[in-house]
Amino acid sequence: MKTEHIKITDIVAQENDLSRAADILRAGGLVVFPTETVYGLGGDATRDEAAKKIYAAKGRPSDNPLIIHIAEPSEAELYAKTHELYYKLAKAFMPGPLTLVLKSKGVVCKEAVCGGETLAVRIPEHKGCQQLLKAVNEPIVAPSANLSKHTSPVTAEHVYSDLNGKISLILDGGKCQGGIESTVLDVTGNIPRILRAGLVTKEMIEKVREVEKARGVVTYGV
């Protein structure tokens, strides 16, 4: 497979390029896109074949679920059971580098969630990524765009060296600002649990006063 590399900018992603990317995603193909944390390797979250291709391209163990990317907090309603705490955290940190784990409604394909009953949801802030999500009008499932066990990529060149020939298109938005992955916070239980530390810290989460009031302090652990 030939991997195409197209430059987009953060501010003005060309419409044609985005609609090409959206077409590839809708056809079950893979597109790499920039976010404010690291580059993501995206596929249509409703298609098992897309998730299978992601696991294969990365060499990722197939028991490690993927995060879905959506454009607006309310879109999560379609795929997961949301609640008051979800909306409080969404108001404080979304769009941004916080991923929330919710109970799944089973709409996202089984391959992406490894047959599990939960779903990790993120709303990226990156303008080009937001435009892509709106163009494709489907949730995009995406891990970081590197080979499994390699460092998460912050440049398109890094993506290219890991995944050349395995993906159809890289949307190059320049260097990702964050460089560190999103924080993964499980809000399926009574006490929010940080499953992966990231740019949104425990302290930042606890500052959302209602979180403390409603659910007690945040803990760490799988």
Contacts with Mg ion by CB under 5 A lie at 144, 152
Work out whether 34 is an interface residue with ligand AMP (CB under 6 A).
no
User: 82 or 144, CB closer to ligand AMP?
Assistant: 144
Nearer to ligand AMP, 9 or 64 (CB): 64
Examine residue 81 and tell whether it contacts ligand AMP (CB under 6 A). Answer: no
Residues 93-152 that bind ligand AMP (CB under 6 A): 101, 113, 116, 118-120, 143-144
CA–CA distance, 69 with 76 (Å, rounded to integer): 9
Cα–Cα distances (Å) from 90 to 73, 82, 83, 107, in that order, read 6, 11, 11, 21
Binding partner at 65 among ligand AMP, Mg ion, none, C-beta below 5 to 8 Å by kind: ligand AMP
- Per CB under 6 A, contacts with ligand AMP among 169-208 are 181, 184, 195-196
Q: At what angle do helices 15-26 and 127-136 cross, to 10 degrees?
A: 50
In the DSSP assignment, the letter for residue 73 is G
Identify whether the C-beta of residue 172 lies closer than 8 Å to the C-beta of residue 158. no
Question: How many Å separate Cα 77 from the centre of its chain?
Answer: 16
Residues that bind ligand AMP (CB under 6 A): 64-67, 101, 113, 116, 118-120, 143-144, 181, 184, 195-196
